[in-house]
Chains A and B, each alone.
Chain A
Amino acid sequence: MSQPFRRASGGRIDRNRPLTVSFNGKTLEGFAGDTVASMLLASGQHLAGRSFKYHRPRGILSHGSDEPSALLSVDWRHDRGPGYRDPNNRASVVEARDGLVVKTQNHWPSLALDIGAVNDLLSPIFVAGFYYKTFMWPKRFWDKVYEPIIRKAAGLGEAPEYPDPDHYANRHAHADVLIVGAGPAGLAAALTASADASKRVILADEGAEPGGALLNDLTSTIDGQPAMDWVEDAVATLDGRENVILLPRTTGFGYYNHNHVCLVERVSDHRADAPEGLARERLWQVRARQVVLATGSHERPLVFENNDKPGVMLAESLRAYVNRWAVLPGDALIVVTAAASAYRTALDAKAAGMRVEIVDIRLGADCGPELAAARDAGITVRTGHTVIRALGGNRVGALVVAPIGTDGSIGPKLTLDCDCVAMSGGWTPSVHLFSQSRGKLAFDTEIDAFVPDKSVQAERSAGACRGLYDLGAVLADGFAAGSDAIGGAASPQPVEASAAFTGFQPVRVLPSDADPSRIKAFVDFQNDVTVKDIKLAVREGFESIEHVKRYTTTGMATDQGKTSNMNALGLVAGILNRPIPAVGTTTFRPPYTPVSFGALIGPARNELFDPVRKTPIDGWAAQNGAVFEPVGLWRRARYFPQAGEDMQAALARETKAVRSTVGIFDASTLGKIEVVGPDAAEFMNRIYTNAWNKLKTGGCRYGLMLREDGFVYDDGVVARLAENRFHVTTTTGGAPRVLRHMEDYLQTEWPDLDVFLTSITEQWAVIALQGPKARDVLEPFVSEIELSETAFPHMTVKTGSVCGVPCRLFRVSFTGELGYEVNVPADYGEAVWTTLFNAGQKHGITPYGTEAMHVLRAEVGYIVVGQETDGTATPDDVGLSGLVSKVKPDFVGKRSLSRPDMVAAGRRQLVGLLTKDPNEVLDEGAQVVKDPGQPIPMKMIGHVTSSYRSENCGRSIAMAMIDDGRARIGETVFATTPTGFTEAVIAPAVFYEVKGETADA
């Protein structure tokens, strides 16, 4: 495809840098500075897509991010392999560069001939909400038959098929002033705000270059010079200021609480030469002291029959293509307008060599100086005329127009040939970010639009986004806003700008004598919502604009209603004969334009999805073949398989070794908190169910902690290192919340207690030696501590050194065997572990993981909080009522334990379950019933909380919570299996009797 519609000169394109883009397999030619849309128009290709519902041919409506129709699948890096393609890109904002492979969407077999267009013929049935009224018979057909067909027809492009090879950056920034939009108002605001060099200013604009609407404008002047000269000067000035960050290609999409504004920057998609590894997009999270919104305005389409024909464009967009991209979107243009601004399009198109006529809805008397300007330029203007319909197939070919009588009657029709149409229904300020900031909107009848009223956050709007359309007024407003943002007084800037053609006459639907129930005049182009759909919705009682939106889907397309909302709102208000504010305006929600998931997640992918916490011994475990499992953020060694072993085999070996010789286990993930201070014991008394006063220095005690509601919260061994110092351990997962819980009570309920809490989880590596030979392994390496049973009995703690390293040595056991937990500073953890492991070889030392740890503790009936308990268990439920002090007047959770249902009979209690077949291992989570033959729903009397094959017991063992369980010991029950039930007997929750020197000896 060559460029037959490219002008010989002019435009903001670089004719010295030609480029090509693949479009549906054909080659499009263009220049640096083009968008895919401008290249399509330069080649004469208006047909650019098919609509959502009716598959109608659609062209390019706009030149910006409000484009609803020309949506493309773009493969951004075809040359780098799969995974760089994504759907639904707006042709008008895809910057052209070599290597792009773009395709149109939503058609079969081809763009020009689309079978789906049969829907257009069936459209009398497919009105708004038709699916609510049918597809209900037969009953099962909805999701089996109808829905798949509807789904296949819906959707736009195809989702990406591959993992995304691109990556995304995230940046947090602080600014004194953030300015969104670098059109004339935004630039002016930036100039004044950044004049004070101490103010950090960020100026962001979604376009490739600053200038906003002035980029399309060849005629306006500022201080007598072309407006773009002023833009270039302003940009140069700002570039020269070190306190200014200029961000082109950066869309402010979300205005959140407390001036937290999120923007997305397109970093590399526009660069053919982007090095691999350069981020594709960057999310800017800016916390701004002050914000200036200079987000401009959107042009409204006109609503008439077939207003969606390819070749029918927004007037300002057509002007942009002619001036900025040096493209003539056709030879014969009809400008249809209710707004003065479109005359500028007519004049510029005429000057560029197009044949131009104007059809103005307004009466001549209602027009301003634009009318004379057009007539002086030799343009035929038909004022007081309406458009009845557009004619044409895949491209507009003519308009049928007619004069409107003073009584509203339609006069004789006239068919005007054309190959493109520029339409303007006036302007809508872009108040999206203002509305997101929770600012209140007010309806300004003068300009027929919602404008910012009361600010809620530290922001102000400037320029067209608050309804100012005259260039001079916009500039003055921008200067004042920038000044205001830094607390300065608004000083008038000495700029003179040429007058613009402003003003329009709101029109909802162009007058016509056609049967309105038979024609399609589109309000929402992408979602195929027509005037009659909206009328139908109102007829059926959907009167709130939110109801109309939801019933018809108007404003819900990927352009989020930028071109359709005001027309829909005006139409509903007109039908109901209510003022627009009474019908409502939709609240704008982020994002302003669609934002990739990639940009929103930034680097949080793969290994950075969540940080991995590793213990000091993790490296040794990895080298020694550990299989790991995630436990919260931690990664823990689950078991250490030897050659040829599966998990069961490894588990059998590890658990037997602990009971016959000695095992070594990395317990470093245990939460550890130091409780220090004169009132430490009193604090412990209040936080734990147990009493602590009588625990001697050097003693350990198993502590149980409740929430205030009386349910078990956490547990762990607590050591009293000194009169005023406790070393508390918590469950692995519980450490942060336990510390928070303790701090909460300490700071907010008992500030009178003199206690300090410190998390020491990361400071200590914990090496557990468990088994009959534990002392033999440890003894040679210990100094200053005597290990004999009498000197160092079970549940005591001593400080000293191990392998020459300072150590807190606990004589504790989570296996029932003789056991020690060696706490050494984390940096020495691996060295001490390695030393003990190597020395333990002669005793048959065996490393074991979390699986074996679970089996070993279950064998002796120790619970795991979070496994036996589930947030609904009281201490008594899990057989720990002995740990609940009867003497203490109060502790956290005590009062709740006496609530009626907490002491009611029949609560679930912890017991053991022994399967009839000793080789059968129950499913953890299995439900327990008394009678498996009862009808459904069955009465469940309990559930299995832990279940293992125990090599040491020579059979399977299980723990369960059973209704009134302790009274039912000996009863036969049935537990569910994947295919049915299996028989088991309720037993005490202790399965193994430790031989030799036990933990409790």
Chain B
Amino acid sequence: MLLIRCPYCGERPETEFHCGGEAHIARPDTPADISDADWGSFLYTRTNPKGLHAERWLHAHGCGRWFNALRDTVSDAFVTTYEMGTPRPDPISETAKA
């Protein structure tokens, strides 16, 4: 079971959280203007990387807030968690910090 650091509540067990999939997939501002193919990509295509993955988590049984996390999908180790709306951190600087 993962141990997840909610940016608002601190470290809590995974069972308090809901994973919302890949982060930083911006919803188009004017969906009507984009093609079926691009809309299909927005809905369904995912990076699914073997390595660092930016993903969304909801502290469902806690503060109820969504946040982003950077996690290694091979080791499952979290590099960091960060607030919604902030850009994806540079993993190198995070590693340097650690």
- A residues neighboring B (CB under 8 Å): 256-260, 285, 287, 438, 456, 708-709, 740, 743-744, 747-749, 751, 889-890, 894-896, 899-900
| CB–CB B39/A257 < 8 A | no
| CB–CB A890/B3 < 8 A | no
| CB–CB B31/A890 < 8 A | yes
Contact check: which of A744, A894, A896, A900 meets B66 at CB < 8 Å? A744
Interface bracket on B: 20 to 34
Q: Considering the complex, which residues of chain B in the window 1-23 have a beta carbon less than 8 Å from any beta carbon of chain A? A: 1-3, 13, 18, 20
Residues of B within 8 A of A900 (CB): 36
Residues of A within 8 A of B66 (CB): 743-744, 747-748
Contact check: which of A256, A456, A748 meets B1 at CB < 8 Å? A256
- Provide 29 A-B residue pairs closer than 8 Å at the C-beta atoms, listed in order of the A residue: A256-B1, A257-B1, A257-B2, A257-B3, A257-B76, A258-B76, A259-B3, A260-B13, A287-B3, A456-B75, A456-B77, A708-B43, A709-B43, A744-B58, A747-B65, A747-B84, A748-B84, A749-B27, A751-B84, A889-B30, A889-B32, A890-B32, A895-B28, A895-B32, A895-B39, A896-B39, A896-B43, A899-B36, A899-B39
Contact string against A for B residues 14-52, beta-carbon threshold 8 Å, 1 for contact and 0 otherwise: 000010100000011011101010011001000000000
| CB–CB B1/A258 < 8 A | yes
Residues of A within 8 A of B64 (CB): 743
Residues of A within 8 A of B85 (CB): 751
Besides A258-B3, A740-B18, A899-B40, 20 new A-B residue pairs in contact (Cβ under 8 A), listed by A number: A257-B2, A257-B76, A258-B77, A287-B13, A456-B75, A709-B43, A740-B58, A740-B60, A744-B58, A744-B66, A747-B66, A748-B56, A748-B66, A890-B31, A890-B32, A894-B32, A895-B28, A895-B32, A896-B39, A900-B36
How far apart are A212's CB and chain B's nearest CB, in angstroms?
29
Residues of A within 8 A of B2 (CB): 257-258
Residues of A within 8 A of B43 (CB): 708-709, 896
Q: Considering the complex, which residues of chain B in the window 54-98 have a beta carbon less than 8 Å from any beta carbon of chain A? A: 56, 58, 60, 64-66, 75-77, 84-85
Q: Which 10 A-B pairs have the closest CB atoms?
A: A895-B31, A258-B3, A747-B66, A260-B1, A749-B27, A257-B76, A257-B2, A895-B39, A748-B66, A748-B84
How far apart are A739's CB and chain B's nearest CB, in angstroms?
9
Contact check: which of B28, B34, B75 meets A438 at CB < 8 Å? B75
How far apart are B93's CB and chain A's nearest CB, in angstroms?
22
User: Which residue from chain B places its CB closest to the CB of A258 in the assembled complex?
Assistant: B3
How far apart are A892's CB and chain B's nearest CB, in angstroms?
9
Tell me the complex Cα distance, A456–B77, Å: 9
Residues of A within 8 A of B20 (CB): 744, 748
Residues of A within 8 A of B75 (CB): 438, 456
| CB–CB A260/B3 < 8 A | yes
Tell me the complex Cα distance, A660–B3, Å: 58
How far apart are A459's CB and chain B's nearest CB, in angstroms?
13
Tell me the complex Cα distance, A73–B75, Å: 40
How far apart are B15's CB and chain A's nearest CB, in angstroms?
11
| CB–CB A894/B3 < 8 A | no
How far apart are B51's CB and chain A's nearest CB, in angstroms?
15
- B residues neighboring A (CB under 8 Å): 1-3, 13, 18, 20, 27-28, 30-32, 34, 36, 39-40, 43, 56, 58, 60, 64-66, 75-77, 84-85
User: Which residue from chain B places its CB closest to the CB of A749 in the assembled complex?
Assistant: B27
| CB–CB A894/B36 < 8 A | no
Residues of A within 8 A of B18 (CB): 740
User: Which residue from chain B places its CB closest to the CB of A901 in the assembled complex?
Assistant: B36
Report if A743-B58 is in contact (Cβ < 8 Å); known contacts: A895-B31, A896-B39, A900-B36. yes
How far apart are A984's CB and chain B's nearest CB, in angstroms?
37
User: Which residue from chain B places its CB closest to the CB of A739 in the assembled complex?
Assistant: B64
Tell me the complex Cα distance, A744–B58, Å: 8
Residues of A within 8 A of B13 (CB): 260, 287
Tell me the complex Cα distance, A541–B86, Å: 54
How far apart are B33's CB and chain A's nearest CB, in angstroms?
9
How far apart are B73's CB and chain A's nearest CB, in angstroms?
12
Tell me the complex Cα distance, A438–B77, Å: 11
Tell me the complex Cα distance, A896–B77, Å: 36
Tell me the complex Cα distance, A740–B64, Å: 9
Tell me the complex Cα distance, A259–B1, Å: 9
Tell me the complex Cα distance, A895–B28, Å: 10
Residues of B within 8 A of A744 (CB): 20, 58, 66
How far apart are A864's CB and chain B's nearest CB, in angstroms?
26
Residues of A within 8 A of B65 (CB): 747
User: Which residue from chain B places its CB closest to the CB of A707 in the assembled complex?
Assistant: B43
How far apart are B25's CB and chain A's nearest CB, in angstroms?
10
Tell me the complex Cα distance, A749–B85, Å: 9
Tell me the complex Cα distance, A257–B74, Å: 12
Residues of B within 8 A of A256 (CB): 1
Tell me the complex Cα distance, A260–B13, Å: 10
How far apart are A546's CB and chain B's nearest CB, in angstroms?
20
Residues of B within 8 A of A748 (CB): 20, 56, 66, 84
Residues of A within 8 A of B76 (CB): 257-258
Tell me the complex Cα distance, A257–B3, Å: 8
Tell me the complex Cα distance, A709–B34, Å: 15
Tell me the complex Cα distance, A260–B2, Å: 8
User: Which residue from chain B places its CB closest to the CB of A172 in the assembled complex?
Assistant: B13
Tell me the complex Cα distance, A259–B36, Å: 45
Tell me the complex Cα distance, A900–B18, Å: 33
User: Which residue from chain A places its CB closest to the CB of B66 in the assembled complex?
Assistant: A747
Tell me the complex Cα distance, A822–B56, Å: 39
Residues of B within 8 A of A889 (CB): 30, 32
Tell me the complex Cα distance, A708–B43, Å: 7
Residues of A within 8 A of B77 (CB): 258, 456
Tell me the complex Cα distance, A889–B33, Å: 11
Residues of B within 8 A of A259 (CB): 3
Residues of B within 8 A of A257 (CB): 1-3, 76
Tell me the complex Cα distance, A983–B20, Å: 47
Tell me the complex Cα distance, A896–B32, Å: 9
How far apart are B36's CB and chain A's nearest CB, in angstroms?
6
How far apart are B47's CB and chain A's nearest CB, in angstroms?
17
Quick one: which of B13, B31, B32 has the most chain A CB within 10 A?
B31
